[in-house]
């Protein structure tokens, strides 16, 4: 086991992002006695829960020169977990008299944002946040001492560029910004419109169109039903469906589920593995996102390989930099808010010296054993951070 840090030692910690993960991280770090600065690119707290009608100029969000829109929230979105499973432990997501805009048990995105603002106000978190400040680069500052980190940032309004040294960095920048796309044979010559669900907001632009959505998770299910109200036809394709899948959805006369797309063609047609051929106007990729840390420079020590962020001990600490660099919110298929809170408590306690970590060597052994287990089970790298995988 690695030697513990000096008990209850205070450190100067940078938190990147003021969404649900960054807010609770800031609270727990300060509770543990650390000094905290939160860097937030937007004008307010909330992260991906800040709804905007704005979408990116590139509907597929692959152009590196595009102006990035952080939020992937669409207007009709409601949480797919209950209030009871969404809030933090000592600030439950309950209906607040005179405050709640949406008292439903599965409320809208606006109610979640209101809850996060209430949380930030209750615990005085905004006083730690530098709004409209973009983190440009995070890198080890070895010349300043072991574990030190250099953060270069820019303030939008003042056009000020800062170069600062911190003892530790907690990365909470979310992972719903950089889309993953399906590979479709023939797509380069297909004449229709392609887009990613990141840029979906309202159904009206799909009126009287024939639309294909690719995906089998919450966004594909939500959006397909949203646009079925106005579209001519909606077809949902998914690679995990059997090749002969062709199901008309109950309650709809214009919504079908298919197997995956086999190919698309110059005449606008889409051919499915089930043999069906349909002329299509729009293909929407509801295919998830890539982990993306454009500001992080670790000289190749922490990498993203086929959506595996690694090496990370328990999805949080890279052994080479532990405990001075950590990540919150990497796992998926989780209860996000409770997980963010527990990860934050762990990180704060480790930094103060109250909670020890294993040695770097032992952490790496556990990580490699876990990777080997996934490989033996035939689980692709891209599912490394899916909770429910065999743990060791």
DSSP 119-163: HHHHTT-GGGEETTEEEEEEEE-GGG-TT-EEEEEEETTTTEEEE
Domain boundaries, the chain: 12-45+125-177+289-383, 187-285
Residue 266 makes CB contacts below 8 A (sequence gap 6+) with 186, 189, 190, 191
Residues 6+ apart with CB under 8 A from 367: 310, 311, 312, 313, 319
Q: Can you give the C-alpha Rg of the chain in angstroms? A: 22
Q: How many residues does the chain have?
A: 392
pLDDT of residue 100: 63
Peptide bond into 311 cis (omega under 30): yes
Into which CATH architecture does domain 12-45+125-177+289-383 fall? Answer: 3-Layer(bba) Sandwich (3.50)
DSSP secondary structure string, 38-60? EE-SSSSS-GGG---S---SSTT
Distance of CA 300 to the CA centre of its chain: 22
Same fold across 12-45+125-177+289-383 and 187-285: yes
> For residues 269 and 96, what is the distance between their CA atoms, to the nearest angstrom?
51
Per-residue pLDDT of the chain (392 residues; tens, 9 = 90+): 554 445 578 999 999 999 999 999 999 999 999 999 999 999 999 999 999 999 999 999 999 999 999 999 999 999 999 999 999 999 999 998 766 679 999 999 999 999 999 999 999 999 999 999 999 999 999 887 678 999 999 998 777 899 999 999 999 999 999 999 999 999 999 999 999 999 999 999 999 999 999 998 899 999 999 999 999 999 999 999 999 999 999 999 999 999 999 999 999 999 999 999 999 999 999 999 999 999 999 999 999 999 999 999 999 999 999 999 999 999 999 999 999 999 999 999 999 999 999 999 999 999 999 999 999 999 999 999 999 764 43
Structure tokens at 341: 């809170």
378 φψ region: left (φ > 0), alpha (ψ -120 to 50), beta (else): left
Instruction: Judge whether 168 and 13 are in contact, CB under 8 Å.
Output: yes
CATH annotation of 187-285: 3.50.50.60
> How far is Cα 365 from Cα 197, in angstroms, rounded to an integer?
38
């Amino acid at each position: 086991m690695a030697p513990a840090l000096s008990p209850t030692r205070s450190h100067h910690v940078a938190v990147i992002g003021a969404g649900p993960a960054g807010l609770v991280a800031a609270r727990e770090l300060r509770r543990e006695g650390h000094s905290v600065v939160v860097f937030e690119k937007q004008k307010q707290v909330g992260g991906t829960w800040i709804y905007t009608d704005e979408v990116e100029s590139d509907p597929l969000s692959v152009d590196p020169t595009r102006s990035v829109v952080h939020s992937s929230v669409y207007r009709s979105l409601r949480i797919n977990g209950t209030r009871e499973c969404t809030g933090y432990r000592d600030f439950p997501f309950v209906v607040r008299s005179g405050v709640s805009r949406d008292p439903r048990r599965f409320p809208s995105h606006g109610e979640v944002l209101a809850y996060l603002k209430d949380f930030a106000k209750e615990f005085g978190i905004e006083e730690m946040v530098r709004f409209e400040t973009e983190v440009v680069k995070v890198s080890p500052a070895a010349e300043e001492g072991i574990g030190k980190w250099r953060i270069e940032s820019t303030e939008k309004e003042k056009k000020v560029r800062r170069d600062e040294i911190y003892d530790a960095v907690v990365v909470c920048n979310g992972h719903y910004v950089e889309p993953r796309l399906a590979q479709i044979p023939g797509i380069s010559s297909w004449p229709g419109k392609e887009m990613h669900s990141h840029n979906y907001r309202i159904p009206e632009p799909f009126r009287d169109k024939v639309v294909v959505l690719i995906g089998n998770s919450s966004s594909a299910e939500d959006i397909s039903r949203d646009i079925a109200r106005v579209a001519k036809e909606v077809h949902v394709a998914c690679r995990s469906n059997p090749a002969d899948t062709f199901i008309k959805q109950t309650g709809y006369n214009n919504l079908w589920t298919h197997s995956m797309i086999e190919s698309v063609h110059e005449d606008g047609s889409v051919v499915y593995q089930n043999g069906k051929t349909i002329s299509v106007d729009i293909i929407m990729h509801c295919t998830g996102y890539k982990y993306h840390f454009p500001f992080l420079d670790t000289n190749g020590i922490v990498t993203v390989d086929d959506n595996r962020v690694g090496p990370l001990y328990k999805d949080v600490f890279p052994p080479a930099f532990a405990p001075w660099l950590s990540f919150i919110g990497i796992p998926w298929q989780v209860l996000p808010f409770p997980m963010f809170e527990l990860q934050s408590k762990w990180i704060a306690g480790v930094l103060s010296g109250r909670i020890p970590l294993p040695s770097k060597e032992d952490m790496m052994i556990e990580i490699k054993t876990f990777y080997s287990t996934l490989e033996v089970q035939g689980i692709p790298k891209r599912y490394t951070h899916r909770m429910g995988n065999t743990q060791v």
